[in-house]
């Protein structure tokens, strides 16, 4: 049911606010779970210590003063009286706090800073006795209050409560003593005791995982990924000779991964394999060996890259890797001149191209492969599964190889990727240096000015990464345009500063990267568009503003750009956050360069959706479930999903299978 449905009785303003949060349906709203809870437990003031989180009831005894700094930041200050003690309260980015009235009784939660100063996290315009003892806290945006979300959930739950049906089959719900779904939703949003949260989360997590595994099994079976194919017949010795001729020695893990792929190709079973490994571990060389074997067997290969920059880079690298083999290689992307594109398409259709490298351009209807045998998708999580499927369908029973630089332990990969075969490259090439990473507890360039100037004066180049393209009231972060303008002013006449972001045309991005590659630009201010596909050996420094807004795996990918050659690479993580958990999370990047450990931590803290591209897979996303911490529930849900599919005709299994079927149909454009 859409949130605009008149039965829900939500006002137009509230509907608009919920849509800003990505909430479109009643189900979206009910599954918009709190990310934490505040337990209203007042401690005696004589026990407060600086840095403690405190909750207390107080009376407003001064005028409320709000100061705006920056375009979208506010600071509100006022004094309160609590148990005859005067406290000075400061709260950030709550412009509506100016509505507080003199002598109003409120409940404040915040951090005690000592000397009777409180930095408030939130406040309620009610006495503590009038509040629920457990307060859910939702992820929100500037201008949208917590109570807006709470009141909306309460209203929708009250309207739909009696009509909410069960998803989990009754026999499993009874066996595991799960709550009725309507009660689980009520208790996750409006708990009266901490035990309510535990019981509700357990019920809803199991449902998430059960639906996930049912969707995985159905998608794989419907996509017919396990059928037979014509084996690829090629001289294994020729591939070995090619590998031995490389100017470097492949690592044992690379050799093992290539062997696994070649065995898949020579079998009559369709290959659907993921090669995962850290930044710089050599996945591309493994893919090259697979593509060479494909061509030797009389088939064509295709390599799908996420950006034009990366497609061009692969084209140059593969030409060098295969310059002694006579392999015919071409590249196709939208930024090419029409005449050049047509020439490539004619040669491809005539069978005169062995390997075609390109971007999404490869999946156009006019791209015709006479004998496509292998598709390789680089940075696989950047493609919707429909795009991969469209390319694979350009041949008959085509082998498929995915590459990911976001490595995770094999057991977790099996959970996320279903029945896909997995090759893991853990060992790194000999002599590869690690990026030196420093965490700066200030979101300011001045803290690292001397270090940056040292790199620039030595003739090196740097990236400056921002979370936003331009200033926005809804997103408080440094942006590309403002940072570039400040650096252009500061370095005027010394160093060239340019910008790069996803809103630029392909031609504009190519031109900027070309100037950066040729060192005509020394400082590139960019969004995460440089995460993949940029290989500038002379760029050895990277500054990341608002590092707390990025995932650990994403930062690890980004900093991999500044260790492409022999010179030492440096990465500075800037953040204005004072949150202890944020500092702990970012310090993982200072302590280790192990991509497996970093991705594991990211999965533990953030879930898989943004990290591994599961949001593009057509599968249900995990909202409450955590694949690190919920292994027991995961294992049981996997077994139960298999049992449900084996007994699909039983009445108690019909509802959840119907829900999965409907979700798969809705996401058909993403289903592999």
Does pLDDT of 618 surpass 70?
Answer: no
For 332-385, what is the HEC assignment?
ECCCCCHHHHHHHHHHHHCCCCCEEEECHHHHCCCCCCCCEEEEEECCHHHCCH
For the chain, what is the mean pLDDT? 86
* Position 288 confidence tier, pLDDT thresholds 50, 70, 90: very high
* pTM score: 0.70
Contacts 24+ apart (CB under 8 A), 8-12: 8/155, 8/156, 8/159, 9/155, 9/159, 10/152, 10/155, 10/156
Q: Which residue has the tokens 């979300």?
A: 149
pLDDT tens sequence across 263-277 = 999 999 888 888 988
DSSP state of 532: S
- Residue 244: exposure state from Cβ atoms within 10 A (0-12, 13-18, ≥19): exposed
Phi, psi (rounded to 5 degrees) for 476:
-85, 90
**What is the distance between the alpha carbons of residues 276 and 403, in angstroms, rounded to a whole number?**
6
**What is the distance between the alpha carbons of residues 24 and 3, in angstroms, rounded to a whole number?**
6
The total number of residues written for the chain in this structure: 672
Query: What is the reported pLDDT for 419?
Result: 59
**What is the distance between the alpha carbons of residues 108 and 55, in angstroms, rounded to a whole number?**
6
Q: Which two tokens stand for residue 165?
A: 């049906």
pLDDT tens sequence across 58-111 = 999 999 999 887 666 789 999 999 999 999 999 988 888 888 999 999 999 899
The answer to whether 185 and 26 are in contact (CB under 8 A) is no
pLDDT tens sequence across 327-378 = 999 999 888 899 999 999 999 999 999 999 998 888 888 999 999 999 998 8
Considering the chain, what percentage of its residues have pLDDT values greater than 90? 47
Range 526-530 average pLDDT: 83
Q: Are strands 570-574 and 539-544 parallel, antiparallel or unpaired?
A: parallel
Query: What is the reported pLDDT for 361?
Result: 83
Strand, helix or coil for residue 242: helix
Query: What is the reported pLDDT for 477?
Result: 78
Query: What is the reported pLDDT for 35?
Result: 84
**What is the distance between the alpha carbons of residues 371 and 360, in angstroms, rounded to a whole number?**
19
Alpha helices in 445-579 (DSSP H): 449-457, 480-490, 506-517, 552-559
Neighbours of 433 (CB within 10 A): 13
Query: What is the reported pLDDT for 402?
Result: 86
DSSP state of 528: G
Domains of the chain: 1-35+147-163 (no CATH), 41-131 (2.40.50.140), 164-221+629-672 (no CATH), 236-425 (3.40.50.300), 436-592 (3.40.50.300)
Alpha helices in 21-67 (DSSP H): 26-30
Q: Nearest 5 degrees, angle CA 593-CA 596-CA 600? A: 115
pLDDT tens sequence across 4-16 = 999 998 999 999 9
Does pLDDT of 614 surpass 50?
Answer: no
């Amino acid at each position: 049911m859409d949130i605009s449905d008149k039965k829900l009785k939500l006002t137009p303003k509230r509907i608009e606010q919920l849509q800003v949060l990505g909430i479109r349906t009643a189900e979206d709203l009910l599954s918009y779970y709190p990310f934490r809870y505040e337990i209203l437990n007042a401690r005696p003031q004589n026990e407060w210590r600086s840095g403690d989180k405190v909750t207390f009831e107080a009376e407003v005894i001064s005028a409320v003063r709000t100061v705006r700094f920056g375009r979208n930041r506010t600071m509100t200050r006022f004094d309160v009286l609590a148990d005859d003690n005067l406290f000075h309260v400061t709260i950030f980015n709550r412009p509506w706090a100016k509505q507080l009235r003199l002598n109003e009784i409120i409940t404040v939660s915040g951090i005690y800073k000592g000397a009777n100063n409180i930095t408030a996290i939130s406040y309620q315009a009610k006495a503590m006795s009038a509040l629920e003892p457990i307060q859910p806290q939702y992820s929100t945006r500037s201008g949208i209050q917590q109570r807006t979300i709470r009141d909306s959930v309460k209203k929708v739950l009250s309207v739909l409560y009696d009509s909410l049906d069960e998803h989990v089959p009754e026999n499993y719900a009874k066996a595991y003593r799960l709550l009725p779904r309507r009660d689980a939703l009520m208790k996750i949003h409006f708990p009266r005791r901490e035990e309510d949260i535990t019981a509700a989360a357990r019920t809803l997590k199991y449902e998430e995982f059960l639906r996930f595994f049912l969707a995985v099994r159905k998608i794989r079976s419907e996509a017919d990924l396990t059928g037979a194919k014509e084996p690829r017949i090629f001289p294994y010795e020729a591939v070995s000779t090619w590998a031995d001729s490389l100017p470097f020695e492949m690592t044992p893990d690379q050799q093992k991964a290539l062997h696994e792929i070649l065995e898949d190709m020579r079998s009559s079973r369709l290959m659907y394999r993921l090669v995962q490994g850290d930044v710089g571990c050599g996945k591309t060389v493994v893919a090259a060996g697979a593509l060479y074997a494909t061509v030797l067997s009389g088939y064509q290969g295709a390599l799908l890259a996420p950006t034009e920059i990366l497609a061009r880079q692969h084209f140059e690298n593969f030409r060098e890797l295969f310059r002694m083999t006579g392999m015919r290689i071409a590249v196709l992307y939208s930024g090419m001149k029409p005449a050049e594109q047509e020439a490539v398409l004619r040669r491809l259709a005539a069978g005169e191209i062995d390997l075609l490298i390109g971007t999404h351009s490869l999946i156009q209807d006019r791209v015709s492969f006479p004998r496509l045998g292998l598709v390789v998708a680089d940075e696989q999580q950047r493609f919707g599964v429909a795009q991969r499927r469209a390319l694979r369908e350009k041949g008959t029973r085509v082998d498929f190889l995915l590459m990911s630089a976001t490595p995770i332990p094999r057991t977790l990969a099996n959970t996320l990727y279903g029945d896909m075969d997995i090759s893991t490259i853990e060992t790194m090439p000999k002599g590869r240096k690690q990026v030196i990473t420093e965490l700066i507890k200030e979101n300011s360039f001045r803290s690292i000015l001397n270090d940056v100037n040292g790199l620039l004066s030595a003739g090196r180049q740097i990236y400056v990464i921002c979370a936003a393209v331009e200033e926005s009231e809804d997103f408080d972060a440094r942006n590309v345009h403002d940072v570039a303008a400040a650096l252009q002013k500061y370095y005027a006449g010394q160093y060239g500063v340019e910008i790069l972001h996803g809103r630029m045309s392909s031609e504009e991005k190519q031109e900027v990267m070309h100037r950066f590659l040729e060192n005509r630009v020394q400082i590139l201010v960019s969004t995460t568009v440089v995460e993949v596909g940029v290989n500038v050996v002379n760029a050895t420094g990277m500054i990341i503003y608002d590092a707390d807004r990025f995932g650990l795996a994403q930062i690890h990918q980004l900093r991999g750009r500044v260790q492409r050659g022999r010179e030492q690479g440096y990465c500075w993580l800037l953040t204005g956050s004072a949150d202890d958990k944020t500092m702990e999370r970012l310090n993982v990047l200072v302590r280790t360069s192990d991509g497996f450990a970093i991705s594991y931590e990211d999965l533990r803290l953030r879930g898989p959706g943004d990290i591994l591209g599961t949001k593009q897979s057509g599968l249900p996303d995990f909202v409450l479930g955590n694949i690190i911490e919920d292994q027991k529930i995961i294992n049981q849900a996997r077994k139960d999903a298999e049992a449900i599919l084996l007994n699909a005709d039983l009445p108690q299994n019909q509802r959840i299978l119907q829900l999965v079927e409907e979700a798969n149909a809705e996401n058909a454009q993403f289903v592999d």
